[in-house]
Protein backbone atom coordinates (compact mmCIF):
# COMPACT_ATOMS: atom_id res chain seq x y z
CA UNK A 1 0.00 0.00 0.00
CA UNK A 2 1.24 3.47 -0.94
CA UNK A 3 -0.12 6.62 0.70
CA UNK A 4 -0.54 9.78 -1.37
CA UNK A 5 -1.38 12.83 0.73
CA UNK A 6 -3.21 15.44 -1.30
CA UNK A 7 -3.98 12.69 -3.80
CA UNK A 8 -7.34 14.16 -4.84
CA UNK A 9 -5.73 17.36 -6.14
CA UNK A 10 -4.56 18.31 -9.60
CA UNK A 11 -1.08 16.77 -9.46
CA UNK A 12 -1.90 14.21 -6.77
CA UNK A 13 -4.71 12.62 -8.79
CA UNK A 14 -2.33 12.05 -11.70
CA UNK A 15 0.26 10.53 -9.36
CA UNK A 16 -2.42 8.21 -7.99
CA UNK A 17 -3.42 7.12 -11.50
CA UNK A 18 0.20 6.42 -12.47
CA UNK A 19 0.74 4.30 -9.35
CA UNK A 20 -2.48 2.35 -9.87
CA UNK A 21 -1.67 1.73 -13.52
CA UNK A 22 1.70 0.33 -12.40
CA UNK A 23 -0.10 -2.21 -10.21
CA UNK A 24 0.18 -0.60 -6.76
CA UNK A 25 -2.53 -0.32 -4.13
CA UNK A 26 -3.04 3.34 -3.24
CA UNK A 27 -4.63 5.13 -0.31
CA UNK A 28 -5.37 8.86 -0.61
CA UNK A 29 -5.52 11.28 2.32
CA UNK A 30 -6.97 14.64 1.32
CA UNK A 31 -8.78 17.38 3.26
CA UNK A 32 -10.34 18.76 0.05
CA UNK A 33 -9.43 22.40 0.64
CA UNK A 34 -11.94 24.80 -0.95
CA UNK A 35 -9.04 26.78 -2.43
CA UNK A 36 -8.20 23.77 -4.59
CA UNK A 37 -11.50 21.92 -4.86
CA UNK A 38 -14.23 24.55 -4.75
CA UNK A 39 -16.52 25.26 -1.85
CA UNK A 40 -18.21 21.88 -2.02
CA UNK A 41 -16.01 19.15 -0.52
CA UNK A 42 -17.38 16.76 -3.12
CA UNK A 43 -15.13 18.37 -5.70
CA UNK A 44 -12.21 16.37 -4.39
CA UNK A 45 -13.60 13.13 -5.84
CA UNK A 46 -13.71 14.56 -9.36
CA UNK A 47 -10.87 13.07 -11.38
CA UNK A 48 -9.72 10.68 -8.66
CA UNK A 49 -9.35 7.09 -9.90
CA UNK A 50 -12.07 4.95 -8.24
CA UNK A 51 -9.56 2.15 -7.67
CA UNK A 52 -7.92 4.25 -4.93
CA UNK A 53 -9.03 4.17 -1.31
CA UNK A 54 -10.03 7.69 -0.25
CA UNK A 55 -9.77 8.98 3.30
CA UNK A 56 -11.06 12.54 3.67
CA UNK A 57 -9.06 14.04 6.50
CA UNK A 58 -6.49 16.61 7.50
CA UNK A 59 -2.76 15.91 7.36
CA UNK A 60 -2.33 18.36 10.25
CA UNK A 61 -4.32 16.03 12.56
CA UNK A 62 -2.08 13.39 14.24
CA UNK A 63 -4.86 10.82 14.75
CA UNK A 64 -5.96 11.05 11.12
CA UNK A 65 -2.40 10.66 9.84
CA UNK A 66 -1.72 7.70 12.15
CA UNK A 67 -4.81 5.94 10.79
CA UNK A 68 -3.85 6.71 7.20
CA UNK A 69 -0.40 5.13 7.66
CA UNK A 70 -1.66 1.70 8.73
CA UNK A 71 -0.24 -0.87 6.33
CA UNK A 72 1.59 1.73 4.24
CA UNK A 73 4.95 0.85 2.66
CA UNK A 74 5.88 4.16 0.99
CA UNK A 75 4.56 7.75 1.22
CA UNK A 76 4.15 10.41 -1.46
CA UNK A 77 3.51 13.77 0.23
CA UNK A 78 1.66 16.04 -2.19
CA UNK A 79 -0.64 17.79 0.31
CA UNK A 80 -0.07 21.55 0.40
CA UNK A 81 -1.53 24.94 -0.30
CA UNK A 82 0.01 26.06 -3.57
CA UNK A 83 0.47 29.24 -5.58
CA UNK A 84 0.85 32.82 -4.42
CA UNK A 85 -2.78 33.03 -3.28
CA UNK A 86 -3.77 36.31 -1.65
CA UNK A 87 -0.26 37.30 -0.65
CA UNK A 88 0.58 37.94 3.02
CA UNK A 89 -3.00 37.54 4.20
CA UNK A 90 -2.60 33.78 3.63
CA UNK A 91 0.57 33.41 5.70
CA UNK A 92 -0.97 31.53 8.64
CA UNK A 93 -2.85 29.14 6.34
CA UNK A 94 0.25 28.35 4.31
CA UNK A 95 2.32 27.65 7.42
CA UNK A 96 -0.46 25.54 8.94
CA UNK A 97 -1.13 23.33 5.93
CA UNK A 98 2.38 23.10 4.51
CA UNK A 99 4.74 23.24 7.48
CA UNK A 100 2.60 21.84 10.26
CA UNK A 101 1.13 19.22 7.94
CA UNK A 102 4.60 18.02 6.99
CA UNK A 103 5.74 18.04 10.62
CA UNK A 104 2.75 15.96 11.76
CA UNK A 105 3.35 13.46 8.95
CA UNK A 106 7.05 13.15 9.78
CA UNK A 107 6.30 12.71 13.48
CA UNK A 108 3.84 9.94 12.70
CA UNK A 109 6.33 8.21 10.41
CA UNK A 110 9.02 8.36 13.10
CA UNK A 111 6.68 6.95 15.72
CA UNK A 112 5.81 4.02 13.44
CA UNK A 113 9.51 3.38 12.80
CA UNK A 114 8.71 3.79 9.13
CA UNK A 115 11.31 2.12 6.92
CA UNK A 116 10.00 2.90 3.43
CA UNK A 117 10.55 5.81 1.06
CA UNK A 118 9.23 9.36 1.35
CA UNK A 119 8.74 11.48 -1.76
CA UNK A 120 8.10 15.17 -1.12
CA UNK A 121 6.43 17.49 -3.60
CA UNK A 122 8.65 20.56 -3.54
CA UNK A 123 8.82 23.45 -6.00
CA UNK A 124 11.12 25.57 -8.09
CA UNK A 125 10.00 28.55 -5.97
CA UNK A 126 12.66 27.59 -3.40
CA UNK A 127 15.27 29.10 -5.76
CA UNK A 128 13.78 32.60 -5.83
CA UNK A 129 15.24 34.26 -8.88
CA UNK A 130 16.88 31.87 -11.30
CA UNK A 131 20.50 31.64 -12.33
CA UNK A 132 22.02 34.64 -14.11
CA UNK A 133 25.36 35.52 -15.65
CA UNK A 134 26.96 38.92 -16.13
CA UNK A 135 29.38 39.23 -19.04
CA UNK A 136 31.83 41.00 -16.74
CA UNK A 137 31.23 39.47 -13.30
CA UNK A 138 30.21 35.91 -14.13
CA UNK A 139 27.47 34.10 -12.16
CA UNK A 140 25.23 36.55 -10.27
CA UNK A 141 22.43 36.21 -7.72
CA UNK A 142 20.44 39.43 -8.12
CA UNK A 143 18.59 40.83 -5.11
CA UNK A 144 14.80 41.06 -4.99
CA UNK A 145 13.42 43.45 -7.58
CA UNK A 146 12.50 46.91 -6.33
CA UNK A 147 8.98 48.26 -6.52
CA UNK A 148 10.16 51.45 -8.22
CA UNK A 149 11.82 49.44 -11.01
CA UNK A 150 8.70 47.36 -11.56
CA UNK A 151 6.52 50.47 -11.61
CA UNK A 152 8.78 51.90 -14.29
CA UNK A 153 8.58 48.72 -16.38
CA UNK A 154 12.17 47.68 -15.63
CA UNK A 155 11.37 44.00 -15.08
CA UNK A 156 14.73 42.33 -15.73
CA UNK A 157 17.12 42.52 -12.77
CA UNK A 158 20.44 44.19 -13.61
CA UNK A 159 23.86 43.13 -12.40
CA UNK A 160 24.16 44.47 -8.84
CA UNK A 161 27.87 45.14 -9.44
CA UNK A 162 27.86 47.08 -12.72
CA UNK A 163 24.22 47.53 -13.70
CA UNK A 164 24.64 45.63 -16.97
CA UNK A 165 21.98 43.33 -18.41
CA UNK A 166 22.12 39.74 -17.17
CA UNK A 167 21.70 36.53 -19.16
CA UNK A 168 19.40 33.95 -17.49
CA UNK A 169 20.64 30.34 -17.42
CA UNK A 170 19.17 26.97 -16.38
CA UNK A 171 19.30 26.56 -12.62
CA UNK A 172 20.80 23.38 -11.12
CA UNK A 173 19.79 21.76 -7.84
CA UNK A 174 22.91 22.93 -6.00
CA UNK A 175 22.11 26.63 -6.59
CA UNK A 176 21.65 28.77 -3.47
CA UNK A 177 18.06 28.75 -2.22
CA UNK A 178 16.33 32.08 -1.73
CA UNK A 179 12.52 31.89 -1.31
CA UNK A 180 10.86 35.24 -2.03
CA UNK A 181 7.25 34.77 -0.99
CA UNK A 182 5.28 32.99 1.73
CA UNK A 183 4.52 29.90 -0.32
CA UNK A 184 8.18 29.57 -1.31
CA UNK A 185 9.30 29.87 2.31
CA UNK A 186 6.97 27.05 3.36
CA UNK A 187 8.15 24.78 0.54
CA UNK A 188 11.77 25.26 1.57
CA UNK A 189 10.84 24.59 5.19
CA UNK A 190 9.19 21.34 4.08
CA UNK A 191 12.49 20.33 2.46
CA UNK A 192 14.42 21.22 5.61
CA UNK A 193 12.03 19.30 7.88
CA UNK A 194 12.19 16.24 5.62
CA UNK A 195 15.99 16.39 5.47
CA UNK A 196 16.21 16.55 9.27
CA UNK A 197 13.81 13.59 9.51
CA UNK A 198 15.95 11.63 7.04
CA UNK A 199 19.14 12.30 9.00
CA UNK A 200 17.52 11.19 12.27
CA UNK A 201 15.77 8.08 10.92
CA UNK A 202 17.74 6.98 7.87
CA UNK A 203 14.56 7.08 5.74
CA UNK A 204 15.42 8.08 2.16
CA UNK A 205 13.70 11.31 1.10
CA UNK A 206 13.36 12.45 -2.51
CA UNK A 207 12.31 16.10 -2.94
CA UNK A 208 10.90 16.76 -6.39
CA UNK A 209 11.10 20.44 -7.29
CA UNK A 210 8.23 20.87 -9.72
CA UNK A 211 8.48 23.64 -12.24
CA UNK A 212 5.34 25.13 -13.80
CA UNK A 213 2.97 22.18 -14.05
CA UNK A 214 0.04 22.19 -16.51
CA UNK A 215 -2.42 19.68 -17.87
CA UNK A 216 -5.92 18.19 -17.46
CA UNK A 217 -7.85 18.63 -14.21
CA UNK A 218 -6.34 21.98 -13.29
CA UNK A 219 -8.76 23.88 -11.00
CA UNK A 220 -10.66 26.77 -12.48
CA UNK A 221 -10.91 30.41 -11.37
CA UNK A 222 -8.69 30.44 -8.29
CA UNK A 223 -5.67 32.57 -7.36
CA UNK A 224 -4.06 29.39 -6.03
CA UNK A 225 -3.82 27.78 -9.46
CA UNK A 226 -0.91 28.03 -11.86
CA UNK A 227 -0.73 30.59 -14.62
CA UNK A 228 -1.79 28.05 -17.27
CA UNK A 229 -5.02 27.40 -15.36
CA UNK A 230 -5.68 31.12 -14.89
CA UNK A 231 -5.25 31.74 -18.63
CA UNK A 232 -7.44 28.74 -19.47
CA UNK A 233 -10.21 29.94 -17.13
CA UNK A 234 -10.16 33.39 -18.74
CA UNK A 235 -10.45 31.98 -22.25
CA UNK A 236 -13.29 29.65 -21.26
CA UNK A 237 -15.16 32.69 -19.92
CA UNK A 238 -14.53 34.59 -23.15
CA UNK A 239 -11.96 36.92 -21.60
CA UNK A 240 -8.48 37.70 -22.84
CA UNK A 241 -5.64 36.19 -20.79
CA UNK A 242 -4.00 38.97 -18.78
CA UNK A 243 -0.23 38.62 -19.04
CA UNK A 244 1.67 40.42 -16.28
CA UNK A 245 4.83 42.48 -16.76
CA UNK A 246 5.80 42.42 -20.45
CA UNK A 247 5.16 38.69 -20.90
CA UNK A 248 8.87 37.97 -21.15
CA UNK A 249 9.18 36.06 -17.86
CA UNK A 250 10.84 32.72 -18.60
CA UNK A 251 9.59 29.53 -16.99
CA UNK A 252 9.73 25.80 -17.60
CA UNK A 253 6.27 24.38 -18.30
CA UNK A 254 6.10 20.65 -17.58
CA UNK A 255 3.11 18.39 -18.22
CA UNK A 256 1.40 16.82 -15.22
CA UNK A 257 1.79 13.30 -16.63
CA UNK A 258 5.55 13.82 -16.71
CA UNK A 259 5.38 14.98 -13.09
CA UNK A 260 3.41 11.88 -12.15
CA UNK A 261 5.99 9.69 -13.85
CA UNK A 262 8.79 11.36 -11.88
CA UNK A 263 6.95 10.45 -8.67
CA UNK A 264 6.49 6.88 -9.86
CA UNK A 265 10.21 6.58 -10.56
CA UNK A 266 11.14 8.00 -7.16
CA UNK A 267 8.78 5.64 -5.33
CA UNK A 268 9.50 2.46 -7.25
CA UNK A 269 13.06 2.60 -8.61
CA UNK A 270 15.12 -0.47 -7.72
CA UNK A 271 17.20 1.61 -5.30
CA UNK A 272 16.02 4.66 -3.38
CA UNK A 273 17.42 7.96 -4.62
CA UNK A 274 17.73 10.65 -1.96
CA UNK A 275 18.11 14.37 -2.62
CA UNK A 276 16.40 17.20 -4.48
CA UNK A 277 15.66 17.08 -8.20
CA UNK A 278 14.25 19.49 -10.75
CA UNK A 279 11.15 18.08 -12.45
CA UNK A 280 10.99 20.05 -15.67
CA UNK A 281 10.83 19.82 -19.43
CA UNK A 282 14.28 21.32 -19.92
CA UNK A 283 12.91 23.85 -22.45
CA UNK A 284 12.27 27.42 -21.19
CA UNK A 285 9.37 29.42 -22.60
CA UNK A 286 7.95 32.83 -21.77
CA UNK A 287 4.63 33.42 -20.06
CA UNK A 288 3.56 35.38 -23.14
CA UNK A 289 4.32 32.37 -25.34
CA UNK A 290 2.18 30.19 -23.07
CA UNK A 291 -0.78 32.58 -23.36
CA UNK A 292 -0.47 32.75 -27.13
CA UNK A 293 -0.14 28.97 -27.44
CA UNK A 294 -3.37 28.48 -25.47
CA UNK A 295 -5.22 31.02 -27.61
CA UNK A 296 -4.00 29.33 -30.80
CA UNK A 297 -4.96 25.88 -29.51
CA UNK A 298 -8.50 26.94 -28.62
CA UNK A 299 -9.10 28.50 -32.04
CA UNK A 300 -12.45 30.01 -33.10
CA UNK A 301 -11.16 33.52 -32.55
CA UNK A 302 -10.55 33.68 -28.79
CA UNK A 303 -9.54 37.06 -27.36
CA UNK A 304 -5.84 37.73 -27.88
CA UNK A 305 -3.64 37.91 -24.76
CA UNK A 306 -3.36 41.35 -23.19
CA UNK A 307 0.01 42.36 -21.79
CA UNK A 308 -0.83 44.54 -18.80
CA UNK A 309 2.43 45.67 -17.22
CA UNK A 310 1.00 44.62 -13.84
CA UNK A 311 3.27 42.81 -11.39
CA UNK A 312 3.32 41.01 -8.06
CA UNK A 313 6.17 41.69 -5.67
CA UNK A 314 6.38 38.01 -4.77
CA UNK A 315 7.06 36.99 -8.38
CA UNK A 316 10.51 36.48 -9.83
CA UNK A 317 11.56 37.33 -13.37
CA UNK A 318 13.22 34.23 -14.81
CA UNK A 319 13.54 30.74 -13.35
CA UNK A 320 13.94 27.67 -15.49
CA UNK A 321 15.72 24.44 -14.82
CA UNK A 322 18.53 22.12 -15.66
CA UNK A 323 17.08 18.61 -16.12
CA UNK A 324 20.46 16.86 -16.00
CA UNK A 325 20.54 15.57 -12.42
CA UNK A 326 17.05 14.06 -12.57
CA UNK A 327 17.97 12.31 -15.81
CA UNK A 328 21.22 10.98 -14.34
CA UNK A 329 20.00 9.90 -10.89
CA UNK A 330 16.27 9.20 -11.34
CA UNK A 331 16.21 8.28 -15.01
CA UNK A 332 13.56 10.97 -15.52
CA UNK A 333 13.29 12.77 -18.85
CA UNK A 334 10.09 14.65 -19.74
CA UNK A 335 8.51 13.34 -22.93
CA UNK A 336 5.12 15.08 -23.27
CA UNK A 337 5.31 17.50 -26.26
CA UNK A 338 4.44 21.08 -25.34
CA UNK A 339 2.20 21.77 -28.35
CA UNK A 340 0.19 18.58 -27.82
CA UNK A 341 -0.03 19.20 -24.08
CA UNK A 342 -1.33 22.74 -24.55
CA UNK A 343 -3.86 21.54 -27.14
CA UNK A 344 -5.05 18.96 -24.60
CA UNK A 345 -5.32 21.62 -21.88
CA UNK A 346 -7.33 23.85 -24.22
CA UNK A 347 -9.91 21.07 -24.73
CA UNK A 348 -9.96 19.50 -21.25
CA UNK A 349 -12.62 20.61 -18.78
CA UNK A 350 -11.21 22.23 -15.67
CA UNK A 351 -12.04 20.81 -12.28
CA UNK A 352 -15.12 22.30 -10.68
CA UNK A 353 -17.26 21.66 -7.61
CA UNK A 354 -19.36 18.51 -7.39
CA UNK A 355 -21.51 17.01 -4.69
CA UNK A 356 -21.82 13.98 -2.46
CA UNK A 357 -18.31 13.15 -1.26
CA UNK A 358 -18.15 10.31 1.22
CA UNK A 359 -15.78 10.54 4.18
CA UNK A 360 -14.14 7.27 3.13
CA UNK A 361 -14.21 5.19 -0.02
CA UNK A 362 -12.94 1.66 -0.58
CA UNK A 363 -11.27 0.68 -3.84
CA UNK A 364 -13.41 -0.68 -6.61
CA UNK A 365 -12.87 -4.28 -7.70
CA UNK A 366 -9.80 -4.63 -9.85
Strands (E), 135-279: 138-140, 167-169, 205-210, 212-214, 242-243, 250-255, 275-279
144-182 burial: b if 16+ Cβ within 10 Å, else e: ebeeeebeeeebbbbbeeeeeebebbbbebebebbbbbb
223: pLDDT confidence band, cut at 50, 70 and 90? low
The enclosing domain of 20 has a CATH number of: 3.40.50.720
157/176 same-domain check? no
156, pLDDT greater than 90: yes
Distance of CA 53 to the CA centre of its chain: 23
Distance of CA 247 to the CA centre of its chain: 21
* Long-range Cβ contacts of 143-151 (<8 Å, 24+ apart): 144/180, 144/313, 145/313, 145/316, 145/317, 147/313, 150/245, 150/311, 150/313
Task: Specify the pLDDT at position 361.
Answer: 46
Asked if the structure places residue 353 within a domain, the reply is: no
Q: Are 284 and 123 in contact (CB under 8 A)?
A: no
Asked if the structure places residue 352 within a domain, the reply is: no
* Long-range Cβ contacts of 322-327 (<8 Å, 24+ apart): 322/170, 322/171, 322/172, 322/173, 322/278, 322/282, 323/278, 323/280, 323/281, 323/282, 324/172, 325/172, 325/173, 325/275, 325/277, 325/278, 326/262, 326/277, 326/278, 326/279, 326/280
Asked if the structure places residue 354 within a domain, the reply is: no
Residues 88-108 have pLDDT tens digits of 888 999 999 999 999 999 999
Query: Could you tell me the CA-to-CA distances from 296 to 166, 281, 340 in Å, in that order?
Result: 31, 21, 12
130, pLDDT greater than 90: yes
Task: Specify the pLDDT at position 300.
Answer: 76
* First vs last C-alpha separation in the chain: 15
358, pLDDT greater than 80: no
Residues 194-210 have pLDDT tens digits of 999 999 999 999 999 99
Task: Specify the pLDDT at position 85.
Answer: 56
Pairwise CA distance, residues 17 & 8, whole Å: 10
198/322 same-domain check? yes
Pairwise CA distance, residues 342 & 354, whole Å: 25
84/112 same-domain check? yes
223/331 same-domain check? yes
110: pLDDT confidence band, cut at 50, 70 and 90? very high
Asked if the structure places residue 364 within a domain, the reply is: no
Number of C-beta neighbours around residue 221 at 10 A: 15
Query: Helix, strand or coil for residue 278?
Result: strand
30/69 same-domain check? yes
363, pLDDT greater than 80: no
Pairwise CA distance, residues 84 & 295, whole Å: 24
Task: Specify the pLDDT at position 47.
Answer: 86
84: pLDDT confidence band, cut at 50, 70 and 90? low
162/220 same-domain check? no
44, pLDDT greater than 90: no
Note down the domain range covering 52: 2-131+170-347
Task: Specify the pLDDT at position 366.
Answer: 29
For the chain, what percentages of helix, strand and coil (3-state, to nearest 5) are there?
A: 35, 20, 45
Residues 6+ apart with CB under 8 A from 341: 214, 215, 255
The domain total for the chain is 2
Sheet hosting strand 284-286, strand order edge to edge: 212-214, 250-255, 284-286
Residues 331-346 have pLDDT tens digits of 999 999 999 999 999 9
45/14 same-domain check? yes
Asked if the structure places residue 357 within a domain, the reply is: no
The DSSP bridge partners found for residue 285 are 251
Residues 6+ apart with CB under 8 A from 175: 127, 131
23/148 same-domain check? no
Asked if the structure places residue 239 within a domain, the reply is: yes
Number of C-beta neighbours around residue 292 at 10 A: 18
Asked if the structure places residue 363 within a domain, the reply is: no
Q: Are 195 and 177 in contact (CB under 8 A)?
A: no
Query: Could you tell me the CA-to-CA distances from 42 to 39, 194, 291 in Å, in that order?
Result: 9, 31, 31
Asked if the structure places residue 252 within a domain, the reply is: yes
- In this structure, of 6-15, 27-36, 120-129, 184-193, the range with the lowest mean pLDDT score is 27-36
Task: Specify the pLDDT at position 90.
Answer: 86
Residues 236-272 have pLDDT tens digits of 889 999 999 999 999 999 999 999 999 999 999 999 9
82/192 same-domain check? yes
Amino acid sequence: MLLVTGGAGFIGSHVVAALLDAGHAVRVLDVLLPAAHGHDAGAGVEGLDPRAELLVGDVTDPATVAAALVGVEHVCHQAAMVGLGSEIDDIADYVHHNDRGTAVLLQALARRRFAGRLVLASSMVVYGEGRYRCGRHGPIRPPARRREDLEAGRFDPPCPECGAALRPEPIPEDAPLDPRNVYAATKLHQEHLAAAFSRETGVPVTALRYHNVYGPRMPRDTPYAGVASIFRSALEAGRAPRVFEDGGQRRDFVHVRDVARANLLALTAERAVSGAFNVCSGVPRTVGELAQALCSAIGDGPPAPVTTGEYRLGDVRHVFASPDLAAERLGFVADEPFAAGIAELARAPQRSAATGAPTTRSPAAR
